[in-house]
Amino acid sequence: MSQYIGRMGKYRILTDRFIPATPLLDTSILTNLYKFIIRHHGGIFVLTGAGVSTESGIPDYRSEGVGLYARSTRRPMSYSDFLKNEANRKRYWARSYVGWSIYREYEPNLTHKILSRMERREKMFHWLVTQNVDALHLKAESLKVTELHGSLHRVVCLTCGCITSREEVQSMIRDLNLEWRGTAGDMAPDGDTTVPQDVVSSFKMLDCPSCGGILKPDIVFFGDNVQRPKVEFISQKLSQSTALLVLGSSLQVYSAYRLILQAKSLQIPIAVVNIGPTRADGIIDMKISGKCSDVFKWLAEKWNIDYLSI
């Protein structure tokens, strides 16, 4: 089993625990993808999903046998439940607070790094949009990135709109809970973990240091909406592109699937790399069933990108 040791060496992150079994890659299909990328060089809009980050050790929700929904009955906190009462917010923040010590240790894998190299050296991509909230594309130093669903590395006040870094918020929460002892259990894709309710009850929440309002990670919860200016910006970037390349997404979430519908309406060709079926399988132009890193290792060799030194 491959393993990754976080940058602080405190937590051991298993990088293949959440990856489903994958078929052998067909070289002819990989060649077709290579030609697809060459044909649309400089104009490719890339959309990445959880299947890119599972290889860094972050679980996803829907993968067969290994996703959170397959392994447990746990479901993510919805936006309406978060707003409903303080007890729900307290439970969320207690679990997210202890989970952050692990979540912050996740690092980019080869797919993130090769994408960054290809963007910089080959100037191949027009723009990259990620559904993931882990900031791994930014850690890999990709430049043209929009985080569709936000980032766990930031916290927003729902009252005054103030944005604070997650590390700063963690420090303030720690000062409020010097005697509190919570330990992280099984990790969820959004950094949530499991903490016994009797431990949660003594946790002290942090209010916005600017106005006393409700703090929330700067991410789109289930049942929430992507802000209109971001939707319009992404739509504009896609309309300026000549091709759409989807990596590691089942496209079940509508905020991502509508980009497929937009591309189809604009007659923009679509290629998908994903393990397992997607919501768009009947309307896309090309599909490769496999691990993103396997595909990008092959592409890196075609472009003489030394991924072994990354």
As annotated, the active-site residues are 149
157 annotated among ligand-binding-site residues: yes
In a 13 Å sphere around the CA of 33, the CA atoms on its Cβ side amount to: 26
Sequence length of the chain is 310
211 annotated among ligand-binding-site residues: yes
Q: How far apart are the C-alpha atoms of 130 and 140, rounded to whole Å?
A: 13
Distances (CA, A) of 46 to 37, 144, 242, 286: 11, 10, 11, 14
- Closest residue by Cα to residue 129 from 29, 226, 36, 38: 226
Q: How far apart are the C-alpha atoms of 34 and 110, rounded to whole Å?
A: 18
Q: What type of residue is 226?
A: V
Q: How far apart are the C-alpha atoms of 3 and 51, rounded to whole Å?
A: 17
Residues with Cβ within 8 Å of 258's Cβ and at least 6 positions away in sequence, in order, are: none
Q: How far apart are the C-alpha atoms of 198 and 196, rounded to whole Å?
A: 6
- Specify binding-site residues for Zn(2+): 157, 160, 208, 211
